[in-house]
Structure 1
Amino acid sequence: MLPWIHLATAAAPGGDRLRLLRRGDEFSIRLERGNELMNSRLSGSEEALATLALDRLSGRPAPRVLIGGLGMGFTLRAAQKAAPPDARLIVSEIVPDLVDWAGLHMAAVFGDCLADPRVEVRPGDVLSEIRGAEGAFDAILLDVDNGPDGLTRADNDALYMEEGLRSAHRALSPRGILAIWSAAPDAAFTKRLTQAGFEVRAHAVRAGRTKRGARHTVWIAARQGG
């Protein structure tokens, strides 16, 4: 078996460090202490995050979509396939080095997706984007950390607690969609979404693109109220 080759290291907020590794045509982004955050061969659930959400926006003109976390671009590319030509796809990425890695080390994975005129990459915290918006987005797609059970940053918890969910509710247009990726199901989080004013469905989706292997969770939460 080919060995993993270390390509780059990036500093993340809160003192964490991310490592980019390559083995043949496979890429892995890991915490320096060892936990794997994403792998280029396991894209199924990240793609489902976009396709399930955009399906709920079918027929809506010029949808504005906020994507929290660039990662390896799986959610973005799935959104590009599903979104109409007049969509706006805004990617909020808190680790600027990941954007650099996309065009340098992982060009084979990303292709030309960041050149799409519908796409805008904004460096910074997606929670700040959400808090600064009111009715601005038709969908918010969050692939941040490990889901509600934060793994990399304690600050990410603010996205998933009551205040963060209510901020997301305000940032969405009527019947807008909040879609959230998680490594595992969480009944308490489903309840918090409902209490924050969302109509919720939790989907169990495969981590990869086959019918085998681990499952992840994607919540599709529709904004209720005016």
Structure 2
Amino acid sequence: MGYSVRTALDILGHDARVVVAELVPGVVEWNRGVLADLAGRPLDDGRTELYETDVIQLIKAAGGDYDAIMLDIDNGAEAMVRKGNNWLYSLPGLTATYAALRYGGVLAMWSAGPQPAFVRRLRRAGFEVDEVKVRAHGASNRKGGAHHVVWIATRG
């Protein structure tokens, strides 16, 4: 909904370029309309390049072009949203993602919970992996609450 893009833009310098792939035209429309102000209008920032396409196409076309790739697509390393997303979590998909990153580049993926088999697959693709447990949005000031996982996979 634009929050990750806004956060990246806020952290990065003025010469940064943030490439966004969004498959669903309605999500783009919402982020240009009713949701735009909630995330600070990240699609209006000149550093943002928006592609209304499947992120898989951008990953396959890249050749070590990216410093970082952030994926928040499914609830983990399972294609819950679209069957075609299975490729992203497969060894060929992870290998292509590894190749899309520059040396030292980072793949960050959100998950509803840990998945040890996926971490092993990331490592087989060549990544160094940290599994970071995080609290659900808004739960940091309360006791309890859901925990999620963000995999930080670095191209070594």
TM superposition score category, shorter chain reference: over 0.9
Larger strand percent: 1
The corresponding residue for 1:76 is: 5
The corresponding residue for 1:185 is: 114
Q: CA deviation at 1:173?
A: 0.4
The corresponding residue for 1:142 is: 71
**1:156 and 2:103 aligned:** no
Percent sequence identity over aligned pairs: 44
How many correspondences in the alignment? 153
The corresponding residue for 1:67 is: none
1:206 aligns with one of 130, 135, 154: 135
Cα distance in structure 1, aligned partners of 2:9 and 2:47: 8
Q: CA deviation at 1:184?
A: 1.3
Which stretch shifts more, 72-81 or 209-218? 209-218
Cα distance in structure 2, aligned partners of 1:146 and 1:85: 32
Cα distance in structure 1, aligned partners of 2:114 and 2:126: 20
Q: CA deviation at 1:204?
A: 0.6
Cα distance in structure 1, aligned partners of 2:131 and 2:29: 33
Q: CA deviation at 1:86?
A: 1.0
Q: CA deviation at 1:150?
A: 2.3
Q: CA deviation at 1:192?
A: 0.4
Q: Is the 8 A contact 1:103 1:110 kept in 2?
A: no
Q: Is the 8 A contact 2:79 2:86 kept in 1?
A: yes
The corresponding residue for 1:110 is: 39
Q: SS at 2:13's partner residue?
A: coil
Q: CA deviation at 1:108?
A: 3.4
**Unaligned residue ranges in structure 1 (runs of 5+):** 1-71
* CA deviation map 1:101-121 (0-9, x unaligned): 112222331332211111111
The corresponding residue for 2:124 is: 195
What's the C-alpha RMSD, in Å, of the aligned pairs?
1.2
The corresponding residue for 2:26 is: 97
Q: Is the 8 A contact 1:179 1:221 kept in 2?
A: yes
Larger helix percent: 2
2:104 aligns with one of 175, 178, 193: 175
Cα distance in structure 2, aligned partners of 1:223 and 1:142: 16
Q: Is the 8 A contact 1:204 1:218 kept in 2?
A: yes
